[in-house]
């Protein structure tokens, strides 16, 4: 009952991490392609392909300034169901062209992750790098994004696709104890099959 109450409270409080490792691919003035975990010098051009596993920038060719901001201060948005201010926050990020990772909060495990990220139970929670912004405040969000060197206007490529939202706490698999019990049951069933007497031979019919 207490856990269910905590979940309901967090979802009613909608108010008005570490960055992923990235690899940069770029071509210098001589036509040589480079792969590095560091962005290219500014003199080498304004565009660079930034790839990051499990982030909103995966497989997207981003302008250099935007790719640098994503690397230095990745943006994560925590949202809930039926949360109007969460929708407003998401719309702001999309309108400004901010690549971001969205984490949904709908279970007690998600609530625990939300607290670890820096929220006091309110949604939405915006992380710009390590800076948490609790609740939606358009001016505060815009200021934090500008402080993190995100462009003030949308410069995302036309073919950019935002990564789908995922639960804040990924589904947990079986515990080691449960897995061990299941393996023991499977071994016992296999041993029983091996020890069972063979079936009697089929009767021979003579015509």
**198 found inside a domain:** no
Half-sphere exposure of 30 (CA within 13 A, CB side): 2
* Tens digits of residue pLDDT in 51-105: 443 444 443 489 999 999 999 999 999 999 999 999 999 999 999 999 999 999 9
* Tens digits of residue pLDDT in 119-145: 999 999 999 999 999 999 999 999 999
- Please list the residues that pair with 36 across neighbouring strands: 24
CATH of the domain at 136: 3.40.30.10
**189 found inside a domain:** no
Total domains in the fold of the chain = 1
* Across 190-202, average pLDDT: 73
- pLDDT band at residue 198, thresholds of 50, 70 and 90? confident
* pLDDT attached to residue 35: 52
Cα 127 to Cα 149: distance, rounded to the nearest angstrom: 14
**18 found inside a domain:** yes
**30 found inside a domain:** yes
**89 found inside a domain:** yes
Query: What is the domain extent for residue 148?
Result: 2-167
Tokens of 2: 């207490």
Between 10-19, 171-180, 189-198, the lowest mean confidence (pLDDT) is in 10-19
**183 found inside a domain:** no
- pLDDT band at residue 17, thresholds of 50, 70 and 90? very low
Closest CA to 61 of 149, 150, 156: 156
**194 found inside a domain:** no
Mean pLDDT of the chain: 79
Closest CA to 141 of 86, 191, 64: 86
Q: Cis (ω within 30 of 0) for the bond into 110? A: no
**20 found inside a domain:** yes
């Amino acid at each position: 009952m207490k856990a269910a109450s905590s979940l309901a409270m967090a979802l009613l409080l909608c108010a008005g991490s570490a960055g992923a490792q990235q690899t940069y691919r770029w071509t210098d003035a001589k036509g040589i392609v480079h792969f590095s975990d560091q962005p290219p010098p500014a003199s080498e051009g304004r565009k660079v392909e930034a790839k990051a596993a499990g982030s909103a920038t995966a497989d997207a060719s981003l302008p250099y300034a935007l790719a640098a901001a994503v690397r230095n201060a990745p943006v994560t948005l925590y949202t809930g169901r039926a949360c109007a201010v969460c929708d407003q926050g998401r719309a702001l990020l999309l309108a400004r062209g901010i690549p971001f990772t969205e984490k949904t909060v709908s279970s007690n495990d998600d609530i625990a992750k939300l607290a670890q990220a820096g929220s006091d139970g309110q949604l939405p929670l915006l992380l710009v790098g390590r800076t948490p912004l609790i609740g939606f405040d358009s001016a505060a969000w815009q200021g934090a994004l500008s402080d993190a060197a995100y462009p003030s206007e949308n410069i995302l490529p036309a073919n950019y696709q935002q990564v789908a939202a995922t639960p804040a706490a990924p589904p947990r698999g079986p515990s080691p104890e449960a897995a061990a019990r299941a393996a023991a049951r499977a071994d016992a069933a296999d041993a029983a099959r091996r020890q069972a007497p063979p079936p009697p031979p089929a009767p021979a019919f003579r015509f």
